[in-house]
Amino acid sequence: MSTETPLAPAGASTAAPTPGPVRTQRRLPRFAPAGLFLGGLVVGGLLSAVTGFSLVLAIIYGVVLGTLAVYVVSRSVEGRRKATDRLVTSLVTSAFGIAMVPLLSLVYTVLDRGLARLDGAFFTNSMYRVVGEGGGAYHAILGTVIITMLTALIAVPIGLLTAIYLVEYGTGRLKKAITFFVDVMTGIPSIVAGLFAFALFTLLFGNAIRLGLMGSVALAVLMIPVVVRSCEEVLKLVPNELREASYALGVPKWRTIVKVVLPTAIAGLGTGITLAVARVIGETAPLLITVGLITGTNLNPFDGRMATLPVYAYYQLTQPGTATQAFVDRAWTAALVLIILVMALNVVARLISHFFAPKTGR
C-alpha cells in the first residue's frame, strides 16, 4: 500500500474536510464489500425461502441484493465514482458467473444421462436388427472417424498450401481476395455446406445419391478456412532470418519452405489442424442431408449411406422406437462420446503445441 489513507475520527471528516490539494478519501475496509455481498446472498436466500425455496431464485435474488448493498454502502461512504466502480465490478463478475451456468449444467446433464449406457456393448455393437434395448454406436463411431479422416485428407493439403501461398508467395490483389474470402467462408452455415455437396453430387451422379464422400466434401468446405487461418497465423511467426539464412546457402525456395519453414512451425500447424478437426467432428447438419443414417456397418465412404455419431445421436433422440428409454439413453451416451472426442482432440492440440514447440535456446 503506497498511500496510507488517514482514517479521520469518525463523523468529523465530513463536517470539516481537510484543506489542501489532496482530499483524503474515505474507503471501505478491505473485506466490507465481500461481507456486504454475502449478507445480500443470505437475505436473498431467506427471501426465496419465504416464497418457496428454489436454488436458482435464491442465487438471483442474492446476487441482486448483494450488489445493491455494496453499491448503496459504498456510495454513502466512498462517493459516487467509487460506488460505480464497485457496481461494474460485480456486474462484470456476474456476467462471467452467468456464462459458467450453462457450461456446468450442460456437462452435468450429459454426464448424468450419458453414463447409463457407456458400456462395452455401446462400442462393440451396431444398431443392426436392434429395435429396443441393447445396440450401440460401433458403426457410427467408425463412420465418424472415416468421414473425418477423409475430410482432413481433402482439407489439410488445400488449406496448408493456401496458407503457404498467402505467407510465402502471395502478393497484391489475389492475396487480398483469398484472405477476404477465406474469412467470409468461415461464416458459411454448415447446412449450406451440406446443400452444396448435395447439389454438386446430384449434378454429377443424378438424384437421391447418398455417400460418405459427400459428407466429407461438405465438411471440407467448413474445415478449409479454419485450416488456412490457423496455418497462416503460425507460418507468419517463423522468423525471416531462418528463410534468409537458407537462401544464402543457395537452397531453392520450395526446399526452404519444406525443410526450414514447415519444420519450424510444425507444432503450431499440428495444433491448428487438430483444432480444425475438432471443429468439424461434431457437425451434424451437413451429414444429415448428405450421408444419412443406416443401422448396419458401412465402412466404405464411396458406396451408399453411412452412420455417423452426431446424426446417430440426433435420430436416436428424435425418432425413438417403441422402447423409448433405450433410444434416449443411447442418444445421450452418443452425445457424451461426442463431447469426449472433441475434448480429447482439444487436449491433444494443447499437448502438440506443448511438446513440439521449437526450442528457443534462450
Partner 1 sequence: MTATKAPTEPPAQQRTVRRPGDRIFAGSAKGSGIFILLVLAGVAVFLISEALPAITASSEDIPGGEGLAAYIGPLVLGTLLGAVLALLVATPLAVGIALYITYYAPRRIAAVLGYVIDLLAAIPSVVYGFWGLAVVAPKLVPFHQWAADTLGFIPFFAGPASTSGRTMFTVGLVLAVMILPIISAISREVFSQAPALHREAALALGATRWEMIKMAVLPYGKSGVIAGAMLGLGRALGETMAVAIILSGGAGATLNLISNSNPSTIASNIALSFPEATGLDINTLIASGLVLFLITLVVNMLARWVVNRRADFSGAN
Contacts to partner 1 from residues 168-187, by CB under 8 A: 168-170, 174-175, 177-178, 180-187
70 makes contact with partner 1 (CB under 8 A): no
Q: Is 267 left (phi over 0), alpha (psi -120 to 50) or beta?
A: alpha
Smallest gap, in angstroms, from Cβ of residue 132 to partner 1?
21
Q: Residue 33 corresponds to which cell in the numbers above?
A: 464489500
- The nearer residue to partner 1, 138 or 312, going by C-beta atoms, is 312
Q: Is 346 left (phi over 0), alpha (psi -120 to 50) or beta?
A: alpha
Q: Which stretch binds partner 1 (CB under 8 A): 35-43, 128-136, 191-199, 266-274?
A: 191-199
- The nearer residue to partner 1, 42 or 178, going by C-beta atoms, is 178
Binding residue for partner 1, selected from 27, 76, 85, 351, defined by CB under 8 A: 85
Distance of CA 206 to the CA centre of its chain: 37
Smallest gap, in angstroms, from Cβ of residue 11 to partner 1?
25
What distances in angstroms separate CA 89 from CA 33, 59, 67, one per listed residue? 11, 18, 9
Q: Which long-range contacts (CB under 8 A, 24 or more apart) does 121-126 make?
A: 122/330, 122/333, 122/337, 126/295, 126/296, 126/297, 126/307
Contacts to partner 1 from residues 294-353, by CB under 8 A: 310, 313-314, 317-318, 331-332, 335, 338-339, 342-343, 346
161 makes contact with partner 1 (CB under 8 A): yes
Q: Which stretch binds partner 1 (CB under 8 A): 11-19, 125-133, 279-287, 296-304?
A: 279-287
- The nearer residue to partner 1, 6 or 187, going by C-beta atoms, is 187
Smallest gap, in angstroms, from Cβ of residue 53 to partner 1?
14
206 makes contact with partner 1 (CB under 8 A): no
Q: Which stretch binds partner 1 (CB under 8 A): 39-47, 108-116, 118-126, 266-274?
A: 108-116
Q: Is 320 left (phi over 0), alpha (psi -120 to 50) or beta?
A: beta
193 makes contact with partner 1 (CB under 8 A): yes
Contacts to partner 1 from residues 210-239, by CB under 8 A: 221, 224-225, 228
- The nearer residue to partner 1, 79 or 132, going by C-beta atoms, is 79
Tell me how crowded residue 253 is: count the other CB atoms within 10 A of its CB: 13
Cα–Cα distance measured from residue 176 to residue 359, given in angstroms and rounded to the nearest whole number: 33
Q: Which stretch binds partner 1 (CB under 8 A): 43-51, 63-71, 115-123, 151-159?
A: 151-159
Distance of CA 249 to the CA centre of its chain: 44
Smallest gap, in angstroms, from Cβ of residue 219 to partner 1?
13
- The nearer residue to partner 1, 318 or 322, going by C-beta atoms, is 318
Cα–Cα distance measured from residue 43 to residue 46, given in angstroms and rounded to the nearest whole number: 5
Q: Is 29 left (phi over 0), alpha (psi -120 to 50) or beta?
A: beta
Smallest gap, in angstroms, from Cβ of residue 29 to partner 1?
18
103 makes contact with partner 1 (CB under 8 A): yes
115 makes contact with partner 1 (CB under 8 A): no
Q: In the chain, where does DSSP find H-type helix? A: 12-15, 32-50, 55-78, 80-114, 120-124, 138-164, 172-186, 190-205, 212-237, 240-248, 253-256, 262-281, 285-290, 309-318, 324-355
